[in-house]
Structure 1
Amino acid sequence: MYELIRKKASQFMLKRGWKELVAKSGAYQQSLFEHTMCELDVLLQLLPILRLPNHYDLKLEEEQILIVSVIGHDIGKETKEFQDYIKGLSQEKALHIITGLTKKVVPEICEILGFSDLQHYSHQIIENCINLHMSRNRTDANLIFSIFQGIGRWKALADIVYTLDNFCSARGMLAALSTLEQSNLSMHIKLAYHQVVVRGVSTVFLHKAAVDSFIKQGWSPILFFSEGTIYAASSASQIYEPARETIEGRLFQLIEEVTGKDVSRLMVGSPVANILPKPDLFDYKETEIYLRIAAGKIKRSSFARKKYGDRVKVVKSYLKLIKPDVKELSQETVDRLSERIDIAQPEMVIFKFFKAIMGENLIGREGVSIAAAEYERMFGEGSWRKLQSTSTLMPARDMAHTVDYFWKLPADRFGYSGGNVGELADEKRDSLLISILNGIAERVYSKIETPPSRSTVNKKMAAAFIEDLIRPSKQEDLKLLVEKQLKAYSQSKPFAGKETKKAEYICPVCNLPFDDGVKASADFLSNPQTHTNRGVSHGKFDYVMICRTCYFERILRQLLLQEKSSEMIVLLPRMNIGYQAGQLLVERVQKFYEQACIFMFGSGDPDRQMSLSLTHLIARNVSGRELYQLSGEEIAGLLTYRHSDETRKKLRRDLEKRIKHFYEGSLEQANLEWATEFPTWDEAISAVINNLVDEPVVTEIRDEVYRLGPQLKTVCQTPNLILIPLTQPIILGKDGDANAALRRLFVSLFIGLALDATVAIISNNDGFDFEGWEGVALVPPVASIRKMVNGNWISLENARRWFRAIGAASILTPSTAYPERSNLFAILSEPTPGHILRRIEEKNNGQVSNYHFEYLDIIEEVLH
């Protein structure tokens, strides 16, 4: 029933244009639709409590009175006088309690909701509830008048509407809590809340863990904020807040679900840098998978393509290690040893990865001893020491100290006939080496007490992230906490940019003190050698040190994206959001991601792809559409473009060429491996394009040709905080900072208006210094753009104008022919539309079309 009421109420509000009307401005901003729907959601969540006999014992008629009153309580805000006043267009103060309008609209709402059984006296009660929901209207005269007009429990019902309006209008979670605790409802409703420090991706899972734990205890969430959630229960119920340990346990489960997916792409790094970039995420059960990925990190023939002089240097270094007395070096010897080193390249990387996972940091000192014994039992005495002497990929040393030991082993020891292992085919050698090293690893893991697994680090993550939970709080000596912080602030400066023991640090990311942290790496933090004002002004500065919680936060982001995020789209409630609206928001974002995946991974037509940077195409796609009516799937669709005919033909030719090359031109062989019966290559390629061939090799080729893959990921668990990490920044071609900032602002406005949310796009290193009440979209921190829009945030009343203007400017860029680096910014910086028109005339031989004037009119709305 409640769902139907919400649907009918929503239709009533949308028909009257409440999405585009402002209800709250100043302290924070909400549309009339958002604010009213928030109050309705809170009421619907509380009705099951209020109807209990030991509380208000509400009858059906009284519940309907409350519902109608809440929907119509701000009806006066839809007048032009009030909208001009709240938007600052008029200095004349406008009130929104208009008794004549109330009397007119109450029957309309009753009819729309199907509350036709409500009698005339009920309508009078509803009018009282609406007309007395503001403190300034609760004068003695109005109360006495209402007493004569009212019937039944009108005052109790009016007080509920009054309290709910104050509750949903309070700026911030703690202020909202205080409002309810000081109202008459406090006798009937028990309140609780959770509150967190907003950090990033981890915060999304922390919110989810807290909400799940509270609901499991019997609490009902009634209002969501970016930093926490308020819960309610009957004051007569015997329920308590969940323990922090309970929330931490649920948080661990959520992290396990994320990290339980395939993360093998992240585990094997660069052979010439860090081969194991994320040791914390290593899981011993997946060793063989990692070794196979390592084998593919470098291709055979890569060394053979090097210049002759470079190969000579490597061969000389190799010979010095195995035959120090060699003086002369013929070209035949160089070519022969070059070929030998070349075909050994994948095996070198396999050994290198094996060495990394057999380190003391992962298997302990006891494990290293076991590994050394097992390794030398296989490869011979002294081989373990030689393995340890290798570091980053150095072909000469790797060949002499690892591969040679392997190739000298007799082949019949492993079931192959005659000769040594080095004489086997390349693929057989790779598989054999992986099998041998995986076997050694398994024997090591079976003999140590705690083999390395992600569950271990997941528990560490949960333990770290739970520290961001402010409430439910833990017992802590505040005096000791303050003393620790003061000590860190006073002593940390000399240690910034240096990795030393017994140091005091301040994390440059979250500003919290720590002593046991992580040396930042470009693998998870952009510009880790960037100087910080936490350090001394002069002297040596190495990589910054960050706390483990910030390190885990970055690792979690990579786990979700399978690579380092470039930028992050942040969605927060515009101050607050009710339970049902919050659930719908989460559902729309999830539907958006499901549809986006179809475009990103080419599940259907790979020629239709997604881009957040093509501002002009998005603007054309959106033209004529009501943003607030868009479904999640439609939002994703509006961010797509289709390849031109020429590009489609080129991509098809490239795909056909690569597939034919792989199958050596044999369609018969392709049909055999695909279990298909295509009569021509043309039909076969069409099937591949349409994703109808289920063959891993073919899928990989298709993805490479069409550049399919993840561009974004949604981290969407609760409406408190929704994150969309991006693999690539929102930038087009040669965009300068100002142009790129306008594109990010355009995307923020699009999402913010479509989803009724506060949106910010931040870089991978940025923290969260906003709460959701500031406006619709964060203006990127580019001085020229913030000066252009006159602020750091785009307000609700200005959001649609700036969205349309940036879109119009992007469509006009070809006609104005400003430099590609700054064309968007140049158009929006012009003093008048006439200047833009003159530019169009100059660049188009005096030719101007009607559509130019249409877009110039849109841009004029924001020009100073």
Structure 2
Amino acid sequence: MSIPSLFGLFVREALERKWHLVEAKCGAHGAQTLLAHSLNAMSVTYSVGKVLGWSEDKLRLAVASRAVHDIAKKRWKCGKERPPKGMNEEEEKEAREILRHLGLSEEEISVAISLAQKDETFGNIKDFMAGAKHEAIAPDVLDLAMLGDRLASMKDPSEPVYKDTEARLKRLGLFITYHKVSVVRGISTYLLHRALIELYQQKGFAPVLFFSSGVVYVGKKEAPRLTREEVLRSLEETLTSFLREKKRELGRAAIGVVSQKAIKAPEYVFVDEDVAKALWNLLTKQKSVADPSVKDNDLSAKGFGSYLGDELTLGEREAAIKFYKGMKYLLTYFNNLLKSAKEDFGVK
């Protein structure tokens, strides 16, 4: 079974066990449910493992172990006592059941349980005894598993890492960096994040942890120093790419209301050829106003209704007026379209 498939299976298991209602991290900032934290730890472990270039076979058990590494938090009163570290017998039984449902063999389950137990720092003799009974784990796999947990516990992209995390990064031959914006807005912040992610990826750093205010990256060399020119160029490329992805939406946004201005935003059409094609494709499908309103003066002697025969019922007269007004608006629209083609696009 592939590693990505583990995530969906785990979410289903966690929801059935109501892990989304159990606190694993508490506090005013960075609170996480047991489901969220376990899933984050799995994801970070997988992302960092890919940076290391590990095979799926080697990486799979490290990722799976993150699904159950904090299962003891189910009996924890968040903020009122020290978090438990080792699993008790009942929790280990449940952890094995979860891993079994994730498709692991019994041998793999034993290794994953050992990894989940040994990555924790023992706080008392009970925790120590719970972890000591399990078999040894390869040091690099242990470092990766613990690193995934530590990074997934971060509350902010600029948060300093612990010394033991620095040591694990060093042993794995990895470096960590981040970007953070000062103000979180909407689409502009999204595009800035996207531009910086692309820039860091070009320099060999993979995004492994995402916040609304920034992103944490991991790479195999010293963190790069980005120049202002590089950021601006990447932002320009990202914005252009984003606009091209939205060519139909841009084409639609460029079109005005039938009874008003034909092309309300001609500048959108110049993003690229595909946007222009989308615009004209939409224009060819433009229809008249579907249900134009019929006012009292339309039915009066001065309105279009005066041209209709007296033998028509009121409903028939209104239907005829709607058809006339709709066609009038459509003809006006195409007249404005020709005018816009001349004024905005230089068509002679």
Q: Is the 8 A contact 2:62 2:112 kept in 1?
A: no
Q: 1:9 to 1:235 in 2, by over 3 A?
A: farther
Match of 1:190 among 154, 175, 178: 175
- Name the amino acid aligned to 1:23: A
Query: 2:119–2:142: 8 Å Cα contact kept in structure 1?
Result: yes
Matched with 1:41 is 43
Is the Cα contact below 8 Å between 2:63 and 2:145 reproduced in 1? no
Shift in Å, 1:97: 2.8
3-state DSSP class of the match of 1:268? coil
The equivalences for 1:164-183 within 5 A come to 164-175=148-159, 178=161, 183=166
2:3 counterpart of 1:2: yes
Alignment of 1:676-695 (within 5 A): none
CA distance in 2, matches of 1:121, 1:289: 59
| Aligned residues of 1:220 and 1:233 also touching (Cα < 8 A) | yes
**Alpha-carbon distance in structure 1 between the residues aligned to 2:114 and 2:337:** 78
Structure 1 position 35, deviation (Å):
0.9
Counterpart of 2:237 in structure 1 is: 249
In structure 2, distance between residues paired with 1:142 and 1:202: 51
Distance 1:346 1:118, change over 3 A: closer
Name the SS of the counterpart of 1:72 in structure 2: coil
Give the C-alpha shift of residue 40 in structure 1: 1.0
Secondary structure of 2:119's partner? Answer: helix
- Counterpart of 2:318? none
Q: Deviations over 1:742-791 (max 9, x none)?
A: xxxxxxxxxxxxxxxxxxxxxxxxxxxxxxxxxxxxxxxxxxxxxxxxxx
User: Deviations along 1:689-724, whole A, 9 cap, x unmatched?
Assistant: xxxxxxxxxxxxxxxxxxxxxxxxxxxxxxxxxxxx
Deviation at 1:23, TM superposition (A): 2.3
- Give me the whole-angstrom Cα distance separating, in 2, the residues matched to 1:261 and 1:106: 48
User: After the TM superposition, which residues 96-495 of structure 1 pair with which residues of structure 2 at under 5 Å, given as runs?
Assistant: 96-101=84-89, 104=93, 107-108=96-97, 111-112=100-101, 113-117=103-107, 126-130=116-120, 132=122, 137=123, 152=136, 160-175=144-159, 178=161, 183-187=166-170, 188-196=173-181, 197-212=183-198, 214-215=200-201, 218-235=204-221, 243-244=230-231, 245-260=233-248, 263-264=251-252, 266-269=254-257, 271=259, 276-281=263-268, 296=288, 305=298, 307-308=300-301, 350-352=334-336, 354-355=338-339, 362=344, 441-443=346-348
Paired letter, 1:255:
L
Q: Give, as a single letter, the amino acid of the residue that structure 1 aligns with 2:347.
A: E
| Amino acid across the alignment from 1:224 | F
Query: How far, CA to CA, are the matches of 1:111 and 1:267 in structure 2?
Result: 56
Partner of 1:375: none
What whole-Å deviation, never above 9, does each CA across 1:54-106 have from its counterpart, x for those lacking one?
A: xxxx9967x56644542222111223xx2xx33x8xxx636433542465556
Secondary structure at the aligned position of 2:118 is classed as helix
- Alpha-carbon deviations, 1:323-375, whole Å to 9, x = none? xxxxxxxxxxxxxxxxxxx997765555555556655xx47xxxxxxxxxxxx
Distance 1:20 1:66, change over 3 A: same
- TM (norm. structure 2) is 0.63
SS in structure 2 opposite 1:127? helix
Q: Is the 8 A contact 2:86 2:117 kept in 1?
A: no
Please give the alpha-carbon distance, in whole angstroms, between the structure 2 residues aligned to 1:126 and 1:142: 16
Pairing of 1:738-817 with structure 2 (within 5 A): none
2:35 aligned counterpart, secondary structure: helix
Contact residue 72 and residue 88 of structure 2 kept, 8 A: no
Say whether residues 1:73 and 2:69 are aligned partners.
yes
Q: CA deviation at 1:218?
A: 4.4
Aligned pairs, number: 311
- Contact residue 49 and residue 144 of structure 2 kept, 8 A: no
Q: Hey, what's the Cα distance between the residues in 2 that align with 1:70 and 1:256?
A: 39
For the structure 1 residues 164 and 99, does the alpha-carbon distance in structure 2 shift closer, same or farther, using more than 3 Å as the test? same
- The one-letter amino acid of 1:44's match is Y
User: 1:116 and 1:189 mapped to 2: Cα distance?
Assistant: 32
Output the aligned Cα RMSD.
5.1
Q: Classify 1:216/1:145 alpha carbon distance in 2 versus 1 (closer, same or farther; 3 Å).
A: same
* Deviation per residue, 1:237-267 (Å, 9 max, x gap): x988793213421330221231356735752
Distance of 1:185 and 1:122 partners within structure 2: 19
- What one-letter code is carried by the residue in structure 1 that aligns with 2:23? V
For 1:282 and 1:301, the matched residues in 2 are separated by: 32
Shift in Å, 1:2:
1.2
Structure 1 counterpart SS, 2:85? coil
**Which piece of structure 1 moves more, 288-297 or 194-203?**
288-297
Instruction: Say if 1:121 and 1:291 are closer, same or farther in 2 by CA, change over 3 A.
Output: closer
Tell me how far 1:129 sits from its aligned partner: 2.0
- The whole-number CA distance in structure 2 between the counterparts of 1:194 and 1:106 is 36
Query: Scaled by the length of structure 1, what TM-score is found?
Result: 0.30
Following superposition, the deviation at residue 38 of structure 1 comes to 0.9
Q: Quick one: distance in 2 between partners of 1:164 and 1:155?
A: 14
C-alpha change, 1:180 and 1:266, in structure 2 (3 Å) is farther
Could you report, residue by residue, the CA deviation over 1:594-643 in whole angstroms, capped at 9, with x for unpaired residues?
Answer: xxxxxxxxxxxxxxxxxxxxxxxxxxxxxxxxxxxxxxxxxxxxxxxxxx
Partner SS state of residue 172, structure 1: coil
Q: Percent identity?
A: 16
Tell me how far apart the structure 1 counterparts of residues 336 and 261 of structure 2 sit (CA, whole Å): 10
Partner of 1:13: 14
- Cα shift readout 1:827-855 (whole Å, capped 9, x = no counterpart): xxxxxxxxxxxxxxxxxxxxxxxxxxxxx
User: Alpha-carbon deviation of 1:143?
Assistant: 10
Does the 8 A contact of 1:300 with 1:346 survive in 2? no
Q: Which runs of 5+ in 1 are unaligned?
A: 53-57, 312-341, 364-440, 444-864
**For residues 59 and 282 of structure 1, what CA distance do their matches in structure 2 show?**
46
What CA deviation, in whole Å up to 9, does each residue of 1:808-840 have, x standing for no partner?
A: xxxxxxxxxxxxxxxxxxxxxxxxxxxxxxxxx
- 2:135 and 2:286 map into 1 onto residues whose CA distance is 79
CA gap of 1:104–1:306, structure 2 versus 1, over 3 A, is closer
1:442, 1:126 → 2: CA distance?
70
1:181-227 residue CA offsets vs partner (Å, 9 max, x unmatched):
96223322233444455433454455445445544554433222223
Gaps of 5+ in 2: 305-324
Q: Which of these residues, 20, 26, 29, is aligned with residue 31 of structure 2? A: 29
CA contact (8 A) 1:9 1:71 kept: yes
- After superposition, where does 1:56-95 map in structure 2 within 5 Å? 66-67=62-63, 69-79=65-75, 82=76, 85-86=77-78, 93=81, 95=83
1:39 Cα offset (Å): 0.2
Q: Which structure 2 residues correspond to residues 833-852 of structure 1 after superposition, within 5 A? A: none
What corresponds to 1:687 in structure 2?
none
Would you say the 8 A contact 1:221–1:231 is kept in 2? yes
Amino acid corresponding to residue 169 of structure 2 in structure 1? S
- Taking a change above 3 Å as real, the CA distance of residues 98 and 308 of structure 1, as seen in their structure-2 partners, is same
Q: How does 1:575-654 map to 2 (within 5 A)?
A: none
